[in-house]
Structure 1
Amino acid sequence: MDTIINFQWEIFIVIEIISLISLLLFGVTRYYFDQKKLSRIFILVFLLLLALEAVLAVLIYQSTGEISTFQIVLIIFVLYAVTFGIYDFFKLDRWMRRKIGNWRGMELLTEKDYRVIERNKDPKHVAKVYRNSATIHLIVFVLVQSVFWMIGTDSVEEMFGYLTSWFETGKYEDSPYPNDTLYSIGMLWMIVFVVDFIYSWSYTIFPSK
């Protein structure tokens, strides 16, 4: 277990590299060599590696008894893979079919694929997609942060009292969070949320032409 903890970042990077290679091999074997059964193996490998990342986070937590930056990164990657990552996978799949189809001189995209591609070029549709994702992120962010604050405070009045005062010291003892771990998660998530929210709404405020 000590080896896993000492080389946790290296293990994570290797898993991510193998995961990416698995997705690319899925496209090559499925669309270039027409080996659909073999391509399923690479998707299975990708899913197993995703599960391995989740298991790795749990094992390290059980060993150390605390949530570290590494585990937070793992959680973010896993959550992305099972949410927005699915949408990005379909985009990657269409891209691979278009490229490999051009190499083979054959059409691998369907009419539905072309409709989706054209729709994704529509600035209004893109803005709507990002607005929806930002709204979902906002709801989840508020709900989870509220739970964190409820754990660390004794009343709603105390929670509201922290709204403008807890940023000053940078210590969890002066914040509504119950411990340093949740404080770190909350602060990191807050930064990610603000950046994501501004980026997502930029497509609505400054739509492309």
Structure 2
Amino acid sequence: MHAMEGIIEFAAPLFIAMELASLVCLLLFGVVRYGLDKRKASMVFIFLFIGITALEAGLGWLLYKETGELSTLQIIITVFVLYAVTFGIQDFKKLDRWMKQKIGRLRGIDLLTDKDREQIAKQKDPSYQARMYRRSSFAHLLVFLIGQTVFFALGTSNWDDALSYVRDLSWLSSEAYNPANSPYPNETIHSISMLWGVIFLIDTIYSWSYTVWPKRT
């Protein structure tokens, strides 16, 4: 019981520690794999990364089970876990190629494969960049809509009630959270949704700028 209370009390620093540990695992993967040339040993750090991600998901579930409420930390954990299993995979591949380049230069050898060079060349192609950012924008839109659907479901009694907020967006003009005129169950989720909405808008404009104004490299 005391151990459980301790986990809940120090959940935030515990989550930060796990995130830092997962980042260290990815960096050690590159050092061991490309710096020390120990490919089998390097896989240990990938398995550790996966294990830490699973522990983060478990921490979020534990917090909800013990408190019975959806907190800001739980939402942050969920976002990080979802990122790790979706967009994080592509970002890891980019990190992997970057580590090959940097460590290869230090060792005086070329660690890049033909496929790596092909991907690096593609990333410099404006049409490829635009296509990738459009896909990213659509994926973010899907995640955003799913997230808002969940939030609306938590804050409204039925779908008709939820749809009424979609038809009439006047509640968005309110600066402060008003439980009598909001589809969200509490102020925390209201604040997170408002911030997410701004980030979503900025990300959409930025992503589609690669289509409207192709970046020449």
TM-score (norm 1): 0.88
Q: Aligned in 2, Cα 1:35/1:48: closer, same or farther, shift over 3 Å?
A: same
| Alpha-carbon distance in 1 for matches of 2:137, 2:39 | 36
| Alpha-carbon distance in 1 for matches of 2:128, 2:60 | 37
Tell me if the contact between 1:166 and 1:174 (Cα under 8 Å) persists in the aligned partners.
Answer: no
Instruction: Kindly provide the CA deviation profile for residues 76-124 of structure 1, in whole angstroms up to 9, marking residues without a partner as x.
Output: 1111111110000000001111111112222211111101101101122
3-state SS of paired residue (1:80): helix
Tell me if the contact between 1:134 and 1:200 (Cα under 8 Å) persists in the aligned partners.
Answer: yes
Pairwise CA distance, 1:43: 0.5
| Alpha-carbon distance in 1 for matches of 2:35, 2:136 | 34
| Alpha-carbon distance in 2 for matches of 1:100, 1:165 | 53
3-state SS of paired residue (1:155): helix
Instruction: Kindly report which structure 2 residues correspond to 1:98-137, keeping only aligned pairs within 5 A, or say none.
Output: 98-137=101-140
Pairwise CA distance, 1:160: 4.2
Report what 1:155 is aligned to. 160
Q: Which runs of 4+ in 1 moved over 6 A?
A: none
Amino acid paired to 1:206: W
Pairwise CA distance, 1:28: 0.9
Pairwise CA distance, 1:71: 0.8
> Is structure 2 residue 189 aligned with structure 1 residue 194?
no
Report what 2:211 is aligned to. 204
RMSD: 2.2
2:177 to 170, 175, 193: 170
Instruction: Kindly provide the CA deviation profile for residues 38-92 of structure 1, in whole angstroms up to 9, marking residues without a partner as x.
Output: 1011111111000110000111111111111111111111111111100000000
Percentage identity across aligned positions? 48
Give unmatched runs, 5+ long, in structure 2.
none
| Alpha-carbon distance in 2 for matches of 1:95, 1:43 | 17
Pairwise CA distance, 1:166: 4.7
Report what 1:54 is aligned to. 57
3-state SS of paired residue (2:70): coil
2:48 to 45, 48, 63: 45
Amino acid paired to 2:169: L
> Which is worse superposed, 4-13 or 109-118?
4-13
Amino acid paired to 2:62: L
Give unmatched runs, 5+ long, in structure 1.
none
Pairwise CA distance, 1:138: 1.6
Tell me if the contact between 1:26 and 1:40 (Cα under 8 Å) persists in the aligned partners.
Answer: yes
Pairwise CA distance, 1:147: 5.4
| Alpha-carbon distance in 2 for matches of 1:48, 1:164 | 44
Amino acid paired to 1:19: S
Tell me if the contact between 1:127 and 1:204 (Cα under 8 Å) persists in the aligned partners.
Answer: yes
